[in-house]
A and B are shown apart, each in its own frame.
Chain A
Amino acid sequence: MSKPLKQIHLAAHFPGVNNTTVWSDPEAGSHIDFSSFAHFARTAERGKFDFLFLAEGLRLREQGGRIYDLDVVGRPDTFTVLTALAAVTEHLGLTGTINSTFNEPYEVARQFATLDHLSGGRAAWNVVTSWDAFTGENFRRGGFLPQQERYSRAKEFLSTANELFDSWHGDEIVADRESGTFLRDARAGAFVHRGPHFDIQGQFNVPRSPQGRPVIFQAGDSDEGREFAASSADAIFSRYAAREQGQAFYADVKGRLARYGRERDQLLILPAASFVLGDTDAEAEELAREVRRLQVSGATAIKHLEFVWNRDLSAYDPDGPLPDIDPDLGEHTVARGRAQVRMYRDPLATAREWRELAAANKWSIRDLVIETGNRQNFVGSPATVADTINDFVQADAADGFILVPHITPGGLDPFADRVVPLLQERGVYRTEYTGTTLRDHLGLAHPGDGREGRAGAARSA
């Protein structure tokens, strides 16, 4: 008997503040007007997607001491725009990236519980951490959090938020007009949390929301991040969209679940992925090449090289060869407010490797950045893309994908209209929503409904 087909999960990432997004395209609309978000969310819902995803950055990125101006700059407040989107959608989950360093648990728990109420149970939280004093300059607490403490703060932040979510059980409000009893229990929402990062107590003031707790996402890739996800998350926003890398990551993280008393289906692996569609595979490949050149202008290529070199390279010609000088190994000072710079852990080795690649392929700086930075995962006709996505999911490289189009807000439309029907025909994707909450869409239990392994693990995280 063959293994039953896995059902694919799809989500839509609103095109972000990075060079995946091609703002120069004539079709590119506003990145800030609500109409763009509403268009994008409605498309995702038309495509029966599980959820919409928003990233976050709490300080404008800088490079060479100046605000970085080559990518989209500016974004809305996550909670506010997600809650407004609840008014123009009915089923779509609403996932927000919210930082555990520059917020406080009481406030964030109120905001997620409110979003969950006002969306009828569709809230999700991508818990991220940060430690940079650069971002901290915008906040009361300042920036500095020793890097090694960021996960301990994130874990304690999440467990504290869970204590707040769980401080109401759902049966407190009786609102009996005759007896005049509104609350069954005067101590509704009571909590005490004593820990190294948070020492708080009192009463939480938002009654229990439809999902009990928001769905929890985790995005970090370090060993600590994977362990955090295995213990406490419902889904991972992963960077491994390629087949073999995805399988390795999938096996690794799913393998960690048993230690926390959790089943393999209690943590979904959802890599971020981009796509380019054409009528034929050849047409899609051609279009993909054009998109890559639009994503990486000569100026963008130089800036990306600076992430590795940690030097001002503005004097170099993007159509010329790579710099002969080596990267500056001192404290990274060129680019600030970005995650990418941390990916190059050995700049000398990366520089050497890139020089060799460029020499072997006769690549200019711009060619090299285009080729090494290629984040186009699914390129082809709708049938090819549908088959590839299905193959990756059935082969346990992922449970689904968080798709990021390169054009706002219409870039998702062709996927919803042309790929989704093919996945539905293959019997691996829903034709209608069968539940009302995001937990329903993701096949996750609701806290307190019997699958206590997961809930219990999250509580003790």
Chain B
Amino acid sequence: MSTSLSPLHLAAALDGAGWHPAAWREPVSRPRELPTAAYWADLVTEAERGLLDFVTIEDALGLQSSHLTEPDERTDQVRGRLDAVLIAARVAPLTRRIGVVPTVVATHTEPFHISKAIATLDYVSTGRAGLRVQIAPRPNEAAHFGRRTVPPLPAGGFNTPAAQQALRGLFDEAGDYVEVVRRLWDSWEDDAEIRDVATGRFVDRDKLHYIDFTGEHFSVKGPSITPRPPQGQPIVSALAHATVPYRLVARAADIGYVTPHDRAQARAIVEEIRTEQTAVGRAEQTLHIFGDLVVFLDDEPGAARARRERLDALAGSPYTSDALIFTGTPVELADLLQEWQEAGLSGFRLRPAVVGHDLPAITRELVPELQRRGAFRAAYEADTLRGLLGLPRPANRYAAPTTV
């Protein structure tokens, strides 16, 4: 089955004790260790053991909340987190092949700072860095910065015209943000550092470039203070649920994470993004579309569902998610991934419901099952994240084309 398809790409989405709000209460969880280096090192090492392409690390500029738009003042769920870029930096030297993709919030941060932070993450990981860009529509998070107000979402939620308008503005800004980050990565040519003792010049300044970006929300001069990172362009990714963010993915990303609930939806989403991709002139470029899934995995038939129900009872209400919540065996999940792959998805970002349980289930059971089917790598085949994703090291947009 599916022998004509390329091997799948797999990522694990790390967030606290796992994606189910009661995950921290499981005996396997380590809730008091969430702010420690050892905890994150163990998770990423486990993911690398399973030969995953990369991990993503969730983040936000406010406390977690069960409400979409405001704090919830709950005390029965994990609250508090560490900066995701720095978690990635802390684990990078402890791993060798797996990619590290922290979340960055475009709405309230400086593209100049983030560009050099991810470039530096690429240096400390020797070519395994990426970012997942996110917007921050919550008014309470805007109040943490005090630089701008974000209007409260209307009662109808995200689907009202007013909300859509506001979101479009934030996504447009995120598009500009990624553009600045990417230009800054290219603002040094690869061979800008010359160390020419004869002339005393450390750099060839003709190979350093002002990026001169001017936009509605910020203007950035450049060049970066950090030389071009090892991958040239680290990976840019984004989660997308609707047309506006699909456009951001099509315009600016290397990977889009999408949330279909069945194969037909997956096909429709892929088609929409591909159409946008062609419209912005990127048809020739590799753009991965990954399906996001929350996973409860157990070998015993029925055990995963029972575990989900037990956790839902502990949480006091059934867990709902933007992504499909899968409960089942590793074999069943492998079947589903391969079916959805046929709809055009090239990989999956799996959100372990209980990270202490479901991450090892991914690495030690799902991965071997996929390997048996020839659907997943048996060893890391590249030493950069771009390499694992089949992306070439890109030419620098500012460099004069080389004549062959």
Contact = CB atoms under 8 A, between A and B. Distances in A.
A206 B80 contact: yes
Interface residues of A, number: 77
A23 B90 contact: no
Interface in B171-216: 188, 193, 195, 197, 199-205, 208
A34 B223 contact: no
B208 A140 contact: no
Contacts of A70: 200-202
Contacts of A187: 73
A135 to B, nearest CB: 9
B221 interface: yes
A60 B79 contact: no
B89 A84 contact: yes
B67 interface: no
Interface in B37-62: 37, 40-41, 60-62
B183 to A, nearest CB: 12
Contacts of A186: 73-75
Given A34-B124, A120-B37, 9 more contacts: A24-B195, A59-B225, A77-B116, A81-B124, A84-B90, A182-B76, A186-B75, A202-B140, A205-B64
Contact of B202 (A23, A185, A200): A23
A385 B164 CA distance: 67
A87 B91 contact: yes
B203 A175 contact: no
A8 B196 CA distance: 40
Interface string A177-208: 10011111111110000000011111101110
A385 to B, nearest CB: 29
Given A58-B112, A60-B225, A104-B108, A80 B85 contact: yes
A106 B80 contact: no
Contact of A84 (B40, B64, B92, B113): B92
B257 interface: no
B227 interface: yes
A115 B124 contact: no
Nearest to B31: A175
Nearest to A24: B197
Nearest to A198: B146
Given A34-B126, A110-B83, A173-B80, A86 B145 contact: no
Given A23-B202, A38-B93, A87-B37, A75 B124 contact: no
A24 B94 CA distance: 32
A189 to B, nearest CB: 7
Contacts of A460: none
A66 interface: yes
A74 B35 CA distance: 32
Contacts of A74: 188, 193, 203, 225-227
A181 B76 contact: yes
Contacts of B372: none
A138 B226 contact: no
A299 interface: yes
Given A86-B90, A184-B75, A107 B221 contact: no
A401 interface: no
Contacts of A199: 146
Contact of A72 (B63, B197, B202): B202
A80 B121 contact: yes
Contacts of A59: 221, 225
Contact of A83 (B22, B89, B110, B188): B89
27 contacts: A32-B227, A69-B203, A106-B145, A107-B108, A113-B82, A117-B35, A117-B82, A118-B86, A140-B218, A175-B32, A177-B25, A180-B76, A181-B75, A181-B76, A182-B24, A182-B31, A182-B75, A186-B73, A202-B62, A202-B141, A203-B140, A205-B79, A206-B80, A206-B83, A207-B80, A299-B199, A299-B200
Contacts of A138: 112, 220-222
A209 B36 CA distance: 10
Contacts of A183: 75, 79-80
A424 B48 CA distance: 43
A107 B61 contact: yes
Contact of B205 (A69, A102, A141, A180): A69
Please name the 4 residue pairs, one residue from A and one from B, whose CB atoms are nearest each other, closest first. A137-B221, A175-B31, A80-B120, A84-B124
A57 interface: yes
A81 B201 contact: no
Nearest to A164: B144
A38 B123 CA distance: 12
A251 to B, nearest CB: 37
Contacts of B41: 87
Contacts of A24: 195, 197, 200
Given A73-B202, A76-B116, A80-B85, A86 B37 contact: yes
A333 interface: no
B36 A117 contact: yes
B168 to A, nearest CB: 20
A114 interface: yes
Contacts of A119: 37
A79 B86 contact: yes
A89 B315 CA distance: 40
A248 interface: no
Contacts of B205: 66-67, 69
Contacts of A440: none
A104 B200 CA distance: 38
Contacts of A111: 83, 86
Contacts of B92: 84, 87
A200 B144 contact: yes
Contacts of B217: 140
Nearest to A110: B83
